[in-house]
Amino acid sequence: MMRRDPLLIVDGLRVTFDTPRGPVVAVRDVNFVLGREKLGIVGESGSGKSQTGRALLGLLARNGRVAARRLSFDGVDLLRAGEAERRALRGGRIAMILQDPKYSLNPVMTVGEQIVEAFRVHANVSRREARLRALAMLEAVHIREPGYVFDAWPHELSGGMGQRVMIAMMMVPEPDLLIADEPTSALDVTVRLQVLALLDDMLARRGAALIFISHDLNLVGSFCDRVLVMYAGRVVETLRANELRSARHPYTRGLLACQPRVDGDGSDLPTLERDPAWLR
Amino acid sequence: MNRAPAIEVAGLDVAFGRGRRAFRAVRDASFSVTAGSSFGLVGESGSGKTTVLRALAGLLPPAARFRGELRLHGGLLRPARSRALRRRLQLVFQDPYGSLHPRHTVDRILGEPARVHGLDSIDRRTVAALADVGLDPSFRFRFPHQLSGGQRQRIAIARALIIEPAVVLLDEPTSALDVSVQAEILNLLQRLRREYALTFVLVSHDLAVVSHMCEALAVMRAGEVVETVSVDALRADTLQHRYSRQLLQAAQGYRSTAAGMPPAER
């Protein structure tokens, strides 16, 4: 079998925000190597999971700083890359899907125009060609009437439909890495599974990698190949997804235990005791 | 425990708008809730579950048209209600960031309903309500922005309980919270229900939460109750309606084969 270099190498990633009350470290010493796989990053609010994803794209708020020993995407040193080089990667080879299509689609542009615009930034193609590609992609995300949705405005779409459009828009330039930050949290549960199946299908077809950021341990465990568990800016445990049940770290075990279960007995849920030693 | 129903909903119909543009948010919904028990209303967005809760709370917009019968311990609940009746039914909202007045202290947030209902010794009640939800008296002088999400939801629960209601309506009370905080709030709600013999109606999209909290549930879809079952049936996986089964499957995570693509036109 051919050995491929890893797509993404993250070594010693640290994200700091300068605030009036001094620097706040949101992510500290995060390390991982990503191949062509589905990697989940799980944690509660404030764990640093979203900032990790944003740091990879260079999309931190203005007071944020990224430092790392190494941060490289397919041979490109992201720490040294200039703004132009990063912009070429962003949306082209690395794409991001955000939580709520209601806020991430431009409300004053039709769906089709947005997809075409995003595509033409990254590929030197005619409007006609871009339109055809956009229509084909809308069909690929199982939208029944691509022509109708192409001409629709974002407010005319349901949440599930909007998120399909987002996926289509991100997949048109055929990225190698997709970063999805809570891509299905705003969707109803039955729609959620359809959107995930679609994402799974698109990734497999293109051989692209995924970083799936979520608070939902069960969902990530059932969808991804590997899971990083983050707590207070640190990765406390890395697991193969099918080994989630045999997690070692007390935080991971606590998170798993405190979730109510459909087949539970209704007795009090164990609550999570946070140990200051986890922060060392 | 008294086995009489605390809440009865019979043939509830709620519509917004008029004529051709009318939208029927709830269609012929019926269920009843045993006193001292907890009843779940499950469904996805737009299924009408929150509208049912609002109808019970008497919080439908005046323009909504409403048919059917709602009863609280046998007495008819009309849209216009006396203060005494309002006191017996309280509501806890989903978003603890939006449901507390940002410029009122906790003391004022808790004291206000007590004053509105003409209760005495408000100081004592405020401290007791805080203790009930596991917060010490020093919280009285904080503002909502100085509280975490879980603490805010505790305040919202204390505000509902301070006037000693019989029934508490809970609208997605933990869906804005982290799972570890959710566990604490669910435990708290169960303890308060036992201690004060409360009846709960819990609206949620999360079958695991409903299974944990409730004795029975109704599954709603597009304004209709498609199935009313005991939680035992849910746990034993004997749901009848296809849609309820779909919800249950969705609650169990992603399976690349099971998740196949039924064409979803939503």
- The CATH number that applies at residue B170 is 3.40.50.300
Q: Which residue has the higher pLDDT, A237 or B263?
A: A237
The pairing of beta strand A209-214 with beta strand A177-181: parallel
Q: Is the pLDDT of residue B23 over 70?
A: yes
Test A266 with B186 for CB contact under 8 angstroms: no
CATH code, A14: 3.40.50.300
pLDDT of res. A4: 67
Å from B183 to nearest chain A CA?
6
Asked if residue B120 belongs to a domain, the reply is yes
Contacts of B96 in chain A (CB under 8 A): none
Instruction: State the average pLDDT over residues B257-266.
Output: 42
Q: Which of B182, B190, B248 sits opposite A262 (nearest CB)?
A: B248
Asked if residue A176 belongs to a domain, the reply is no
CB B230 within 8 A of CB B244: no
Asked if residue A171 belongs to a domain, the reply is no
> In chain B, what is the straight-line distance between the N-terminal and C-terminal CA atoms, in Å?
44
Task: Tell me the three state secondary structure of residue A134.
Answer: helix
| Residue B113: domain span | 37-47+78-244
Instruction: State the average pLDDT over residues A34-47.
Output: 94
Asked if residue A4 belongs to a domain, the reply is yes
Å from A36 to nearest chain B CA?
18
Asked if residue A250 belongs to a domain, the reply is yes
Asked if residue B29 belongs to a domain, the reply is no
Out of A6-20, A149-163, A181-195, pick the least confident: A181-195
Q: Give which of B47, B178, B229 to mutate to test A binding, by max A Cβ within 10 Å.
A: B178
pLDDT of res. B265: 37
Summarised one tens digit per residue, pLDDT across range B56-91 is: 999 998 889 989 999 999 999 988 889 999 999 999
Å from A83 to nearest chain B CA?
36
Asked if residue A102 belongs to a domain, the reply is no
Q: Is the pLDDT of residue A118 over 90?
A: no
CB A157 within 8 A of CB A165: yes
Q: Is the pLDDT of residue A19 over 80?
A: yes
Asked if residue B90 belongs to a domain, the reply is yes
Asked if residue A113 belongs to a domain, the reply is no
Placement of tokens 């010794």 in the chain: B121
When divided into structural domains, chain A yields a total of 1
Which residues on chain A place their C-beta less than 8 Å from a C-beta of chain B?
44-45, 142, 144, 158-161, 188-194, 196-198, 200, 215, 217-219, 221-223, 254-255, 258-264, 266, 268-272
pLDDT of res. B259: 42
Q: Is the pLDDT of residue B176 over 90?
A: no
The overall average pLDDT reported for chain A is 91
* Per-residue pLDDT band at B258 (split at 50, 70, 90): very low
* Per-residue pLDDT band at B256 (split at 50, 70, 90): low
pLDDT of res. B139: 96
Contacts of B149 in chain A (CB under 8 A): 45
Summarised one tens digit per residue, pLDDT across range A222-268 is: 999 999 999 999 999 999 999 988 999 999 999 999 999 998 888 99
The pairing of beta strand B65-72 with beta strand B5-16: antiparallel
| Residue A269: domain span | 1-91+225-280
Asked if residue B252 belongs to a domain, the reply is no
* Per-residue pLDDT band at A17 (split at 50, 70, 90): very high
Q: Is the pLDDT of residue A103 over 90?
A: no
When divided into structural domains, chain B yields a total of 1
Q: Which of B212, B234, B250 sits opposite A190 (nearest CB)?
A: B250
Instruction: State the average pLDDT over residues B98-127.
Output: 95
The pairing of beta strand B65-72 with beta strand B75-76: antiparallel
Asked if residue A111 belongs to a domain, the reply is no
Contacts of B263 in chain A (CB under 8 A): 142, 144
Q: Which of A142, A189, A215 sits opposite B263 (nearest CB)?
A: A142
* Per-residue pLDDT band at B117 (split at 50, 70, 90): very high
Test A255 with B187 for CB contact under 8 angstroms: no
Summarised one tens digit per residue, pLDDT across range A261-280 is: 998 888 999 998 888 888 87
* Per-residue pLDDT band at A180 (split at 50, 70, 90): very high
For residues A79 and A71, what is the distance between their CA atoms, to the nearest angstrom?
6
Asked if residue A213 belongs to a domain, the reply is no
Residues 6+ apart with CB under 8 A from A241: A40, A220, A221, A222, A223, A224, A225, A226, A227
Task: Tell me the three state secondary structure of residue A246.
Answer: helix
Test B179 with A223 for CB contact under 8 angstroms: no
Tell me, what DSSP letter sits at residue A242?
Answer: G
Q: Is B11 exposed, middle or buried (0-12, 13-18, 19+ CB in 10 A)?
A: exposed
Å from A87 to nearest chain B CA?
34
CB A197 within 8 A of CB B260: yes
Instruction: State the average pLDDT over residues A167-184.
Output: 91
Q: Report the predicted TM-score, pTM, of the whole model to 2 decimal places.
A: 0.88
For residues A42 and A32, what is the distance between their CA atoms, to the nearest angstrom?
14
Q: Is the pLDDT of residue A121 over 80?
A: yes
Placement of tokens 């009640």 in the chain: B125
Instruction: State the average pLDDT over residues A105-117.
Output: 94
pLDDT of res. A143: 86
Out of A38-42, A83-87, A186-190, A239-243, pick the least confident: A186-190
Q: Is the pLDDT of residue B37 over 80?
A: yes
Handedness of CA A125, A128, A133, A138 (dihedral sign): positive
Backbone angles phi, psi at A272, to 5 degrees: -90, 120
Asked if residue B14 belongs to a domain, the reply is no
Q: Is the pLDDT of residue B197 over 50?
A: yes
β-strand partners of B24: B15
Give DSSP secondary structure letters for chain B: ---SEEEEEEEEEEEES-GGG-EEEEEEEEEEEETT-EEEEE--TTSSHHHHHHHHHT-S-TT-EEEEEEEETTEE--SS--HHHHHTEEEE-S-TTTSS-TTS-HHHHHHHHHHHTT-S-HHHHHHHHHHHTT--GGGGG--GGGS-HHHHHHHHHHHHHTT--SEEEEESTTTTS-HHHHHHHHHHHHHHHHHHT-EEEEEES-HHHHHHH-SEEEEEETTEEEEEEEHHHHHTT---SHHHHHHHHHHT---TTTT-------
The overall average pLDDT reported for chain B is 91
Å from B22 to nearest chain A CA?
19
Asked if residue B27 belongs to a domain, the reply is no
Q: Which residue of A has its CA nearest to B206?
A: A189
- Give the Å distances, CA to CA, from A246 to A88, A222, A239, A253, B185: 41, 14, 9, 8, 27
Backbone angles phi, psi at A249, to 5 degrees: -65, 135
Q: Which residue has the higher pLDDT, B18 or A252?
A: A252
